[in-house]
Amino acid sequence: GQSLRDLLRFSVCYWHTFRGNGTDPFGAGTMVRPWEDGTDSVENALNRVDVAFEFISKLGAPFYCFHDRDVAPEGASLKESNDNLDKIAAKLKEKQDETGIKLLWGTANLFSNPRFMHGAATSCNADVFAYAAAQVKKAIEVTHELGGENYVFWGGREGYHNLYNTDMKRELDHLARFMHLAHDHAKKIGFGGQFLFEPKPKEPTKHQYDFDAAACLNFIRSYGLEDVVKLNIETNHATLAGHTMMHELEYARIQGYLGSIDANTGDLLLGWDTDQFPTDIYLTTRCMLVILRQGGLAPGGVNFDAKVRRESFEPIDLFHAHIGGMDAFARGAKIAAAIRKDGVLDDFVKQRYGSWDEGIGKQIEDGTATFDSLEAYMLEKGEAAPNASGRQEMLENIINQYI
Ligand code: 3MF
Ligand code: MG
Ligand code: MG
């Protein structure tokens, strides 16, 4: 009964769509956008806000996301950066009110500036921790002013290259301290948006602390952050960790931590985070099979953390890219809904786990079985036949039957 629009909650990311210029780790920008005047001035930033909201309105997406430093230029001091951000935030607010476009989440860029070369909350330099805290304080306040529904923490450079000179325990303790301070401040100002960790392995440090959903969840539970932070799962981050997106989504979901997604494509042929727009209906169907199990992502959404290829420098391709991604997710949602409606996967699961609904299986699950009773049962029975239903080939082809 839910509309696709309400279910998918598409979001346009500010950093790639309005700040991207085609740079990649191997080369300079390939595109000069017509809304750039060649300066990183507040004036240019204000004009860019008009363009951004015109684009998102034409696209018909309900949400956007930003880092503090994508929307407003970094100044010569923290004070100047905060003032710049205030000026842009006022304009963002005006445009949100005018268009009805809402903020899915805000975040702080704690990885681009050289001060963060050793990380932010996990930096070896206490001043850098303090700077990051001040920056996140401001970013949460701005997100709150703009009615942001979530606030994201991507680890950036929270990790290390070499253990010989790294105090891992201390760095993790600092990261936890940082998160508790952020939570305390959010409470203090009345920000009720959901905090989200965004797991990512390998980039940019060799060992990222937020490697995958499992590493994040262990951190969350070790440091008493269970009620504070959920997860923002990104496709290309999942594949870099050696997982599939579906695995990461389900791992987070079953434990109650699936908050939102950064949608892109894990390009299996490249070893880095290429942030390509999703176009694969099999991928989006698998995502939606999991997302529908929890009835959607709200207050999270489907944010396109994706950029056009550097060879695709015509601005019109920004529309093609987003439309393709939205279309892929809408189709995936419809296919997943049809599969769920037929109950075909439920039947497979029910059949495969049938032995747990009665007899010894039931006793194990309800806690009445002991090692003694299980041994007695097995000694009498003699053998456990390897006969659970698999139907792997049938399952591998299931999506094909619904396309
Ligand atoms: C890095 C990312 C980031 C995060 C962003 C918000 C620039 O690979 O995916 O995008 O999504 O920092 O947390
Ligand atoms: Mg991301
Ligand atoms: Mg990414």
Distances from the Cα of 196 to the Cα of 15, 216, 218, 401, angstroms: 18, 10, 15, 36
What residues are paired with 265 via a beta bridge?
A: 276
Closest approach atom of ligand 1 to CA 234: 9
Q: Which of 6, 24, 37, 67 is catalytic?
A: 67
| 299 upstream amide cis, omega within 30 of 0 | yes
Q: Whose CA is nearest to atom 5 of ligand 1?
A: 154
Structure-token pair, residue 381: 């029975």
- Give distance in angstroms: CA of 80 to centre of ligand 2: 27
Report the nearest-CA residue for atom 6 of ligand 1: 154
- Under a CB-based contact definition with an 8 Å cutoff, are residues 112 and 120 in contact? no
Q: What pLDDT does 222 receive? A: 98
Distance CA 199, CA 158 (A): 11
Q: Are 298 and 9 in contact (CB under 8 A)?
A: yes
DSSP 8-class letter at 188: H
Q: Among the residues of 190-225, which ranges form H helices?
A: 213-222
Is 67 assigned a catalytic role?
yes
Residue in the block written with tokens 């550097």: 310
199 prior amide bond cis, ω within 30: no
Q: How far is CA 342 from CA 204, 277, 336, 346, in A?
A: 44, 30, 10, 9
Nearest CA to ligand 1 atom 10: 305
* Number of CB atoms found within 10 A of residue 170's CB: 11
Dist. CA 204–CA 283, nearest whole Å: 26
Report residue 73 as tokens: 């230029």
Which residue lies with its CA nearest to atom 13 of ligand 1? 154
C-alpha 341 – ligand 1 centre gap (Å): 34
Do residues 329 and 288 touch, judged by C-beta distance below 8 A?
yes
| Residues counted in the chain | 403
Number of the ligand 1 atom closest to the C-alpha atom of 152: 13
At residue 102, the 3 state secondary structure works out as strand
What tokens does 45 get? 């930033």
Q: State the burial class of residue 235 (Cβ atoms within 10 Å of its Cβ: 0-12, 13-18, 19+).
A: buried
Tokens linked to 269: 């042929």
Nearest-CA residue for ligand 1 atom 3 is 154
**H/E run at residue 207:** strand 207-208
H helices within 241-370, ranges in order? 245-254, 281-293, 316-342, 344-352, 359-366
- Of 104, 90, 102, whose CA–CA distance to 53 is shortest? 102
184 is catalytic: no
Q: What ligand has the least distance to the C-alpha of 154?
A: 1
Report how far ligand 1's centroid is from the alpha carbon of 396 (Å): 32
Which residue has the CA at smallest separation from atom 9 of ligand 1?
305
CA–CA separation, 140 vs 101, rounded Å?
19
Between the CA of 169 and the centroid of ligand 3 the distance, in Å, is: 26
- What pLDDT sits at residue 183? 98
Question: What is the CA(361)–ligand 2 centre distance, in A?
Answer: 42
Q: Nearest bound ligand to CA 263?
A: 2
pLDDT at residue 1, as a whole number: 65
CB atoms within 10 A of CB 380: 7
Tokens of 360: 């010894």
pLDDT in tens, the chain (403 residues): 689 999 999 999 999 999 999 999 999 999 999 999 999 999 999 999 999 999 999 999 999 999 999 999 999 999 999 999 999 999 999 999 999 999 999 999 999 999 999 999 999 999 999 999 999 999 999 999 999 999 999 999 999 999 999 999 999 999 999 999 999 999 999 999 999 999 999 999 999 999 999 999 999 999 999 999 999 999 999 999 999 999 999 999 999 999 999 999 987 778 889 999 999 999 999 999 999 999 999 999 999 999 999 999 999 999 999 999 999 999 999 999 999 999 999 999 998 999 999 999 999 999 999 999 999 999 999 999 887 777 888 888 999 999 9
Q: Which residues have CB under 6 Å of ligand 1?
A: 15, 67, 107, 152, 154, 198, 200, 234, 262, 273, 305
Q: Which of 236, 302, 305 to mutate to test the pocket of ligand 1 (most atoms within 8 A of CB)?
A: 305
- The single residue of 68, 70, 212, 275 carrying the catalytic annotation is 70
**Smallest Cα–Cα separation from 152: which of 86, 234, 224?**
234
Nearest ligand 1 atom to the CA of 16 is: 7
Structure tokens at 104: 């899915």
Q: Which two tokens stand for residue 26?
A: 């191997």
Q: Give residue 198 CA to ligand 2 midpoint distance, Å.
A: 7
Among all bound ligands, the one having the nearest atom to the CA of 153 is 1
Amino acid at 241: A
Q: Which atom of ligand 1 is nearest to the CA of 65?
A: 6
> What DSSP state is assigned to residue 356?
G
Ligand 1 centroid to Cα of residue 38, in Å, is 24
Q: Of 88, 138, 83, 80, nearest to 110 (Cα)?
A: 138
